[in-house]
Structure 1
Amino acid sequence: MMNWPEKVTIKEVGPRDGLQNEKVIIPAQSKMEWIDQLSDTGLSYIEVTSFVHPKWIPQLSDAALVAKGIKRKPGITYAALVPNQRGLESALAANIDDISVFMSSSETHNLKNINKSISDTFPILKDVIRTAANSGKTVRGYVSTVFGCPYEGEVSTDQVFRVCDQLFEYGIDEVSLGDTIGVASPRQVALFLEQAVKRYDMSQIALHFHDTRGMALANILESLNYGIDTFDSSLGGLGGCPYAPGASGNVATDDLVHMLHKMGIHTGINPEKLMKAAAMVQSFLEKPLPSHQMAVNNAQ
């Protein structure tokens, strides 16, 4: 039964999640120009960078410079990922609007990604979440490997809920549930959300699908039926997790916008301006972006 929302919020994660796996280092000035162009597309949320240690992700070592240098547009939330108190201090100094913390629902991936167990990660995130909230910032929690882990296989729903419950208890405003390696199917998504809707307010849930196996749009379509109206995506399909072998890009913002608009669902995003922004970052990377819309665009 179709129970689609009239409007969907798309959270653009390209400047952070999209670029973090790219080996070609894009200059800070070019990143700022791209983010400024994204700000003119109608997007209401842009994740601009990550305040992690430069040795973790060299591509984002210019986080403070980029965050301070972009031309901010009223009505847009500019977000960044932070791993700890030190990263939070840098993000606050750069006047980031929305603070994102991150951890995995699987023990092995959490150890690979954060170098800590899940139980050791909680106290660190608790301090970050509460300090950020006390500083007047909204806080988002990313939970990875919700639908499968590259090291452990399937992750139990109870384990995912245990992580989410703890983050909500600490005070996050929203949780973004990630299919980090793109293994989810619409049936798996439906079974998960049937339980999630009984436990959480769906306005506090976002979904973050990777398109590794070409299932992201199908999974989003299934999610719409459960009242989910917030999705993360990356322009052109850029992205992947450095700590999840084989995890290719996020669902493409341009493909997602095309599908939603064809379904009569409002996003507030201008497709033509979006494609101009996609062409810009494609020129910076000097390679074709993997989205379907860009394949069409490049062939014209």
Structure 2
Amino acid sequence: MSNAVKLTECPRDAMQGLHNYIPAEVKAHYINLLLQVGFDTIDFGSFVSPKAIPQMRDTAEVLAQLDITPGNRTKLLAIVANYRGAEQAAQFDEISYLGFPFSISETFQLRNTNASITEALDTVKQIAGLCALKNKTPLVYLSMGFGNPYSDDWSTEAVLNWTGKLVQEGITQIALSDTIGIATPEQISILYPALQNAFPQIELGLHLHSTTETWQEKIAAAYDAGCRKFDTSLKGYGGCPMAKDDLTGNIATENVVAYLLHNNIQLDLDLDKLGEAMEYANGILA
């Protein structure tokens, strides 16, 4: 197995829960800095209800201001919560991935997309069909993938079952997501390889939220379990505003980069540009 790691930087996740509006030109400048770093993917925005996530109401405007040069290998990902949002996102050639949050928790699926899990699976099928027509790749987040705070049923078997249904709909890109930061290294060590072994045809990433005290043990467990694709956010900003009142942040990009480099794990990033982006993030996200 290669030790090369793909990182998805998540400014959308970092910004979406902020109450103070960040102007489109400021968002675009920040994302343009990130585009120079060399991330595999940037989760840059979302096509969702502006009432639900007002910070993301300008995603199309931000996209129009991005400097996407022909030689830039970084791909853009936009989050959608329904087929209407997918139709909006699919209009833009610059977007490679349409990300959809599919929850193992019935309660969270209703809170996040106003749909049941069964209805969400039908939406995944529709989005996959649209992506095939529009030359996009659907990426499904297995939200609440390690449990939930609502006392909804959760088990490894349930995660495997729903993943199987997604694969049947042609999904090949999945991000196992710890939406509220409750995953333990032991869970990661069991669940990640269980999914990868059951569905070797998919590219399985991890979208972990964590406290500053536990991020390293989670990343170490994930890497040792075979994960080579991680979602992170500079300074650890972010969290899902639809999950609960207190946001649990993303795992900080700079921490993951330092950990990987310390362990001689391959990263093809411009660290000087990463530093510039971090400095700018301090001014707009703090």
What is the TM-score normalised by the length of structure 2? 0.93
Alpha-carbon distance in structure 2 between the residues aligned to 1:124 and 1:194: 27
Alpha-carbon distance in structure 2 between the residues aligned to 1:127 and 1:213: 38
Task: For 1:180, give the aligned amino acid.
Answer: T
Task: For 2:159, give the aligned amino acid.
Answer: V
Equivalent of residue 61 in structure 1, options 48, 52, 57: 57
**Which residue in the other structure is 2:77 paired with?**
79
Alpha-carbon distance in structure 2 between the residues aligned to 1:212 and 1:98: 28
**Which residue in the other structure is 1:291 paired with?**
none
- Measured against aligned partners, the alpha-carbon deviations of 1:184-221 in whole angstroms (never above 9, x if no partner) come to 11111112134223202276100111013632321121
Any stretches of 5+ residues in structure 2 without a counterpart?
Answer: none
Provide the identity percentage.
33
User: In the alignment, is residue 9 of structure 1 matched against residue 6 of structure 2?
Assistant: yes
Alpha-carbon distance in structure 2 between the residues aligned to 1:7 and 1:166: 29
1:45 Cα deviation after fit: 0.9
Task: For 2:30, give the aligned amino acid.
Answer: W
1:129 Cα deviation after fit: 1.4
**Which residue in the other structure is 2:27 paired with?**
31
1:178 Cα deviation after fit: 0.5
**Which residue in the other structure is 1:131 paired with?**
130
Alpha-carbon distance in structure 1 between the residues aligned to 2:118 and 2:38: 39
Which range is displaced more, 28-37 or 106-115?
Answer: 106-115
Q: Contact 1:180/1:247 (CA < 8 Å) preserved in 2?
A: no
Q: Contact 2:171/2:202 (CA < 8 Å) preserved in 1?
A: no
User: In the alignment, is residue 180 of structure 1 matched against residue 176 of structure 2?
Assistant: no
Any stretches of 5+ residues in structure 1 without a counterpart?
Answer: 288-300
Alpha-carbon distance in structure 2 between the residues aligned to 1:132 and 1:92: 7
**Which residue in the other structure is 1:105 paired with?**
104
**Counterparts of residues 141-290 of structure 1 (less than 5 Å):** 141-152=140-151, 155-201=154-200, 204-212=203-211, 214-245=213-244, 246-285=246-285, 287=286
Equivalent of residue 18 in structure 1, options 2, 7, 14: 14
Q: Alpha carbons of 1:130 and 1:202: their partners in 2 closer, same or farther (altered >3 Å)?
A: closer
Which range is displaced more, 57-66 or 267-276?
Answer: 267-276
Task: For 1:258, give the aligned amino acid.
Answer: A
Which range is displaced more, 135-144 or 209-218?
Answer: 209-218
Q: Contact 2:193/2:226 (CA < 8 Å) preserved in 1?
A: no
SS of the equivalent of 1:109 reads helix
Task: For 2:9, give the aligned amino acid.
Answer: E
Alpha-carbon distance in structure 2 between the residues aligned to 1:213 and 1:18: 15
SS of the equivalent of 2:52 reads coil
Q: Contact 2:139/2:173 (CA < 8 Å) preserved in 1?
A: yes
Alpha-carbon distance in structure 2 between the residues aligned to 1:48 and 1:159: 30
SS of the equivalent of 1:127 reads helix
- Measured against aligned partners, the alpha-carbon deviations of 1:29-82 in whole angstroms (never above 9, x if no partner) come to 011101110011121211110000111100000011112221113211011011
- Measured against aligned partners, the alpha-carbon deviations of 1:114-151 in whole angstroms (never above 9, x if no partner) come to 12110121112210111112211111111111112121
Q: Contact 1:130/1:170 (CA < 8 Å) preserved in 2?
A: no
SS of the equivalent of 1:97 reads strand
Q: Alpha carbons of 1:17 and 1:202: their partners in 2 closer, same or farther (altered >3 Å)?
A: farther
User: In the alignment, is residue 90 of structure 1 matched against residue 120 of structure 2?
Assistant: no
Q: How many residues are treated as equivalent by the alignment?
A: 282
1:281 Cα deviation after fit: 2.0
Q: Contact 2:107/2:152 (CA < 8 Å) preserved in 1?
A: no
- Measured against aligned partners, the alpha-carbon deviations of 1:8-44 in whole angstroms (never above 9, x if no partner) come to 0001112x11111111211000111011100111212
1:225 Cα deviation after fit: 1.6
